[in-house]
A and B are shown apart, each in its own frame.
Chain A
Amino acid sequence: MEKKEEKIKIFFECLPSAKLFFEIGGEYLFKLYENLFGNKDIRMNIENQEWKFYKDSTKLTISIKESENVNTIYLQIEREEKNGKIVLKNSIIRARIGESSVKESVEIITEIEKLLREVYALWVKAEEDLQSVVKEDERFSKIIEEKLVEKLSGEN
């Protein structure tokens, strides 16, 4: 073995509790997405890359479209049918965690958490903007008003 002061890093995936972390980390992110967005799918561009967030009751997938017809799975979390456990599946993130140290693995989870919260803030802001448009743009606000009046008058 070489000198002690050299960089030493044991791969996270070799640790006895790595499997548990893939479950706990996966469950945390799955529930975080659910709390923020429910089961809503999101599509967005980050620096010219097309990001897609898909969520249903059993699966959360975040993919990146690198170029025409090339999609990379950035993150995949799935509820396993056999035991109901929510687990981090093969993806860029899982591979990165697998080759990291414990400290780096926790940082990767924090990085995704940050990404989700940033997307959430943008998503909320965009939704607020849309609500403003509906209220303030006369073309729409007039229709909305008519619909409201219609509703209040009991007409179908």
Chain B
Amino acid sequence: MDKKSKVTGEKKVIKISLNSLPSAQAFKEFVAEYLYYLYGNLFKDINTIKIIIGKQKWELKYSSSSSSLLQIYFYDDTNRTSYLEIKKYSNGFALNTCEVRNKIEEGSIEEALQVVTEVEKLLYDIYEIWRKEEERLQEVFKNDKRFSKLMEERLIKKLSGAK
């Protein structure tokens, strides 16, 4: 929302932080639930993903047990930053203190949605890289004679009913 300053006549940008809104808490819970399930749908039962992007190492930790949790950290040369932390409680999900929550709380509605899209994009990007690398590994099993021979032996053994 733009308004003109009564004193200078210049346009002022007025932004209400999302956290000041009555439904902010519910929004954060929905964000937490959405991102938690997005990870689960993409990576299934893979509990840890480590990836290097440029100079940063990212670590994604996920647990579907009773103490359900999704944590995303990134490491610079010396520091570890908690980018995202989601906790599941008996009555719902919560965004713990982390960079994403701070950005959401301080931003406008539009900015908060952008942050969610940013995390979503990060997960999808990592998923694409992860999926392609897994495909490469499958190709290795098929095409590298050293391994394809052993894979074949395993298959024959399995089909013959041997343990």
Task: Name A residues whose Cβ lies closer than 8 Å to a Cβ of B.
Answer: 1-3, 6-18, 20-21, 24-25, 27-28, 83-84, 99, 101-103, 106, 109, 113
Distance in angstroms between the alpha carbons of A2 and B129 in the assembled complex: 14
A58 to chain B, nearest CB (A): 17
| Count: A-B pairs, CB below 8 Å | 79
Please state if A16 and B46 are interface contacts (CB–CB under 8 Å).
yes
Is B121 among interface residues, defined by CB-CB distance under 8 A? Answer: yes
Chain A, Cβ-Cβ closest to B147: A24
Please state if B54 and A25 are interface contacts (CB–CB under 8 Å).
no
Secondary structure at the B interface, as helix, strand, loop or mixed, is helix
A154 to chain B, nearest CB (A): 48
Chain B, Cβ-Cβ closest to A84: B163
Q: Which A residues lie within 8 Å of B48 (CB)?
A: 14
Please state if A15 and B130 are interface contacts (CB–CB under 8 Å).
yes
Distance in angstroms between the alpha carbons of A13 and B47 in the assembled complex: 11
Is B98 among interface residues, defined by CB-CB distance under 8 A? Answer: no
Please state if A9 and B140 are interface contacts (CB–CB under 8 Å).
no
- B121 CB contact (under 8 Å) in A1, A2, A10, A24: A1
Q: What would 20 more interface pairs be, CB under 8 Å, given A1-B122, A11-B50, A24-B147?
A: A1-B53, A1-B121, A1-B125, A2-B54, A3-B54, A7-B53, A9-B52, A10-B49, A10-B133, A11-B51, A14-B50, A14-B51, A14-B130, A15-B137, A21-B147, A24-B151, A27-B150, A28-B146, A103-B136, A109-B146
Going nearest first, the 8 A-B pairs with the smallest beta carbon separation are A6-B54, A11-B50, A102-B136, A9-B52, A2-B54, A10-B51, A14-B49, A102-B137
A118 to chain B, nearest CB (A): 17
Q: A8-B52, A11-B50, A24-B150 are in contact. Are A17 and B126 (CB under 8 A)?
A: no
Is B56 among interface residues, defined by CB-CB distance under 8 A? Answer: yes
Distance in angstroms between the alpha carbons of A6 and B53 in the assembled complex: 7
- B133 CB contact (under 8 Å) in A6, A7, A15, A84: A15
Please state if B130 and A10 are interface contacts (CB–CB under 8 Å).
yes
Is B10 among interface residues, defined by CB-CB distance under 8 A? Answer: no
Distance in angstroms between the alpha carbons of A14 and B53 in the assembled complex: 15
Please state if B51 and A17 are interface contacts (CB–CB under 8 Å).
no
- A9 CB contact (under 8 Å) in B51, B55, B137, B150: B51
Chain A, Cβ-Cβ closest to B58: A1
Please state if A28 and B130 are interface contacts (CB–CB under 8 Å).
no
Q: Which B residues lie within 8 Å of A15 (CB)?
A: 130, 133-134, 137
B45 to chain A, nearest CB (A): 9
A60 to chain B, nearest CB (A): 16
Distance in angstroms between the alpha carbons of A105 and B121 in the assembled complex: 28
Chain B, Cβ-Cβ closest to A98: B50
Is B73 among interface residues, defined by CB-CB distance under 8 A? Answer: no
Q: Which A residues lie within 8 Å of B136 (CB)?
A: 102-103
Q: Which A residues lie within 8 Å of B150 (CB)?
A: 24, 27-28
Is B8 among interface residues, defined by CB-CB distance under 8 A? Answer: no
A13 to chain B, nearest CB (A): 7
B107 to chain A, nearest CB (A): 19
